[in-house]
Amino acid sequence: MKEIKVLGSGCKNCETTARIITAQAERMGVAIRLEKVTDMAVILGYGVMSTPGVVVDGRVVHAGGLPGPDDVTAWLS
């Protein structure tokens, strides 16, 4: 199971990022545990200055803007 955190204030792009990841995981048949992190101190602790940020299995893989489908596929593979 992949542990995924979407880092952000809960803005539209953050919510869309969570939906994109969830939908792609379902298409690929990959089990994920998705957590939305809104605490700015925690977000800054990951070194993310631009949201949404994405953390997969403890590693920051994305920051700022919406991720592309190919990016999400790579994270889940």
11 catalytic? Reply is: yes
- Beta-carbon neighbour count of residue 25 at 10 Å? 19
Q: Which one from 14, 18, 25, 37 is the annotated catalytic residue? A: 14
Q: Which one from 11, 28, 31, 49 is the annotated catalytic residue? A: 11
Nearest-angstrom CA–CA distance, 20 and 71: 11
10 catalytic? Reply is: no
Nearest-angstrom CA–CA distance, 13 and 46: 19
Q: Which residues are catalytic?
A: 11, 14
